[in-house]
Structure 1
């Protein structure tokens, strides 16, 4: 059992431990193949591995413990896993709610093996009271790119293309049991470019959230153990201490939105991020920005946040 003590009560506290998975050993050789598998463009696995190693090094240089779960697979799981082209996008596999790890459930059958492989490992790594493996028994689909742990009371979840409302209804009791009192539920357009919540908005620090401007038009259902009510997205986020930077400067959804907080003052971002976003708000101008080239990986349709699963933030 690895020495990991899951602890995530926000998206911005100092990242101590993160789980990743190295890219597939297969190329996606041409645009036609990329279209078939839902990727933006062809990908050369050799370049993808170079990008991934650079991302890991950038996190380790900031004192983050990085764990590649593929190194711990055995038997038939170890044989199959390198061939799974989406395995690098580990964020979707589970989420740490406070001190509880709740598994996700694949919203596309192509990704189902990754969930099985990682969850079997998590059963070895964590005690039963920490990893709630049975929490996904009633799920239809829940990919954790749709989940933000806003603070120690509140979770923000999108029920969209890859996460069903039925799954959220099944899992909400586990979220409350983990110590949260409120779940904000938004239902965003079911499109490839809006596949997950973290392709539409992202926490950029203790009191700032960056979001595509259209989101201000959407209501949020606020669910508690006593019932539910509604609020507009901006009002919901502001009530939890977040000023919202509504931006129309998103040129490439993954590069511009899918960054990672390493600590309250530091963001790990793609070299392709639209720099205009970083100058739109005074609180962003003062951030330490660490850029890393993940261009080849982003062609698969996910970014830095998608490729990292925080286990410990303190």
Structure 2
């Protein structure tokens, strides 16, 4: 029997019990050099090796006692009803930016012919090449079809899907179903919508929503961190608007999820620091990774909610003192990516040296390639679970980016 509240995430470090991943699929094989910027990629991963690295990641989590769920399987299990499957296809088509009427009809016909829900989900993730569709007659071709005849895709792929942290974010017993920064990623949140509406375990209003994908302002899960049962951290970044944070916080406080304070981190707005978790993650009760390049310009605001109003106060003083006070600790240790070397810090942060996934207090998943940062973490007494990332890292994301916790043990 499903538990009454199937989402339970009240920290970044409580022992991880259940996590959602997405195994990279054929969407990566639809990346092309000419359109990498459009897809938010800098390079093209080799799919076979990316899958091998991802399988290693999943297995090492299982070895720690973590139940691994997959986005594609959860989404497929949400489409077993034929009417729901058809509704999903129509909504997918509406958001796929197919501007030619005849092309849209051809894609609809292709998707409706796929009866197996898992096969359907895989296809919608991979995208649709125009070469897969029947040739249009002259009479069927509209102006849009003619003008865009050289673009190879009828529907763009979703190559960022293996970064499951961003389309929605779990916090407490609830979920933030996000409005993404880029149109190419905003379609990813459709899978979360159907999971939390129609999945036999997670659907049917079992999980309260604290943000809606229909909002006009953007927010992404890499900017949403659960520091404790009382404190959240949210990044104001390239991918997350301050206005979105205010909406999120009001919903969190009004739905009484248990959180009493939010620390809002404002830092440089660029791709290098696209999310808070690319420069800052929690690895133990009193330890955090941080990229030193953000510290000089970082601003932190403490947000509380009283009598129907948000109260916002800028926090002055060293970040370690701000965090210690918020978490009720005597002190915290900020472990700098790359140590004292700006060269090592820049290189290893680009390869997600600061983006870690904590599976239990002091037990942390990292890319093994970040040797300098890893040695520092080990010197602090942390146990590291090292995974390969030569291909996965090409999408600019690390272990935290690639995982969405569904259940963690409460901290003692």
Work out whether the TM-score is over 0.5.
yes
The answer to which structure, 1 or 2, has the higher relative contact order (CA under 8 A, 6+ apart) is 1
Q: Which residue of 2 aligns with 1:308?
A: 403
Inter-partner Cα distance in structure 1 for 2:231 and 2:7: 17
Matches within 5 A, 1:104-123: 104-123=178-197
**Residue 28 of structure 1 contacts residue 44 of structure 1 at CA under 8 Å; is this kept in 2?**
no
Inter-partner Cα distance in structure 2 for 1:57 and 1:247: 26
Shift of 1:145: 0.2
Inter-partner Cα distance in structure 2 for 1:60 and 1:306: 18
**Residue 178 of structure 2 contacts residue 211 of structure 2 at CA under 8 Å; is this kept in 1?**
no
Shift of 1:201: 1.1
Secondary structure of the residue that 1:286 maps to in structure 2?
coil
**Is the counterpart of residue 9 in structure 1 residue 88 in structure 2?**
no
Inter-partner Cα distance in structure 2 for 1:18 and 1:35: 29
Inter-partner Cα distance in structure 1 for 2:58 and 2:273: 26
Q: Which residue of 2 aligns with 1:162?
A: 239
Matches within 5 A, 1:89-100: 89-100=163-174
Distance 1:12 1:126, change over 3 A: same
Shift of 1:90: 0.7
Q: Which moved more, 1:72-81 or 1:155-164?
A: 72-81
Shift of 1:32: 4.8
**Is the counterpart of residue 237 in structure 1 residue 305 in structure 2?**
no
Aligned to 1:62, which of 61, 64, 67?
64
**Residue 255 of structure 1 contacts residue 303 of structure 1 at CA under 8 Å; is this kept in 2?**
yes
Q: Which moved more, 1:101-110 or 1:9-18?
A: 101-110
Distance 1:203 1:229, change over 3 A: same
Larger Rg: 2
Secondary structure of the residue that 1:71 maps to in structure 2?
helix
Q: Which residue of 1 aligns with 2:22?
A: 21
Aligned to 2:369, which of 272, 279, 299?
272
Shift of 1:2: 6.2
Shift of 1:261: 0.5
- Measured on the aligned residues, the alpha-carbon RMSD in Å equals 2.3
Inter-partner Cα distance in structure 2 for 1:30 and 1:100: 37
Q: Which residue of 2 aligns with 1:146?
A: 223
Inter-partner Cα distance in structure 1 for 2:73 and 2:2: 13
**Residue 216 of structure 1 contacts residue 234 of structure 1 at CA under 8 Å; is this kept in 2?**
no
Q: Which residue of 1 aligns with 2:389?
A: 294
Q: Which moved more, 1:238-247 or 1:66-75?
A: 238-247
Give the alignment's TM-score, normalised by structure 2. Answer: 0.70
**Residue 12 of structure 1 contacts residue 263 of structure 1 at CA under 8 Å; is this kept in 2?**
yes
Distance 1:89 1:16, change over 3 A: same
Shift of 1:122: 2.0
Shift of 1:40: 2.7
Secondary structure of the residue that 1:302 maps to in structure 2?
coil
Secondary structure of the residue that 1:175 maps to in structure 2?
helix
Structure 2 gap ranges (5+)? 80-84, 90-119, 128-157, 340-344
